[in-house]
Amino acid sequence: MSSYAWLWVAIVAAGVVSWLTKATGHLVPERWLEHPRVHRIASYMTVALLFALFAVQSFTSGRALAFDARAAAVAVAAVLLWRRAPFIVVVVAAAGVAAALRALGWT
């Protein structure tokens, strides 16, 4: 199968898994999941995965670490988030900083 077809398979599988996860919560007795350890792990899972995605997206290029226009862009994004700017402003500003730096020749 082509990589395009496999991508379709993964998308549909992700959808099925997503729905099953949601549906399971409505069906299982509350006491099955009320262990504090399970709650803590589920809570930190979101933070760990999203921040790992952020780090890889910001500071790697292929399989090498990289420090380029994206680093400046996410620094600006962090300041804007700290100043409580709306999400869309943060995303557009980061794109703008990276695009401008690249137009000036800084990769």
Partner 1 sequence: MARLTGRSGLSRLSPVRQQALSVSLATGAYGLSLGALAVAAGLDFWQTMALSLIVFSGGSQFAFVGVIGAAGSPWAALGTSALLGVRNGFYGVTLAPILRPMRGWRFVWGSQVTIDESTAVALAQPENDADARRTGFWWTGVGVFVAWNLLVGVGAIAGQYIGEPQAWGLDAAAAAAFLGLVWPRLAPRRAQAVAAAAAVLALALTPVLPAGLPILAAALVAVGAGWGGPPVDLDPTEAPV
Q: Confirm if 69 and 59 have CB atoms less than 8 A apart.
A: no
CB contact set of 101 (below 8 Å; sequence gap of 6+) = 69, 72, 73
67 contacts partner 1 (rule: CB under 8 A): no
Residue of the chain from 37, 83, 104, 105 that contacts partner 1 (CB under 8 A):
37
Shortest distance (Å) from residue 3 CB to partner 1: 8
User: What is the bridge-based pairing of β-strands 60-61 and 64-65?
Assistant: antiparallel
Q: Confirm if 81 and 56 have CB atoms less than 8 A apart.
A: no
106 contacts partner 1 (rule: CB under 8 A): no
Cα–Cα distance between 66 and 59 in angstroms, integer? 5
23 contacts partner 1 (rule: CB under 8 A): yes
Residue of the chain from 2, 67, 88, 105 that contacts partner 1 (CB under 8 A):
88
Residue of the chain from 46, 83, 104, 105 that contacts partner 1 (CB under 8 A):
46
Shortest distance (Å) from residue 69 CB to partner 1: 7
Q: How many CB atoms lie within 10 A of CB 58?
A: 17
Shortest distance (Å) from residue 49 CB to partner 1: 5
79 contacts partner 1 (rule: CB under 8 A): no
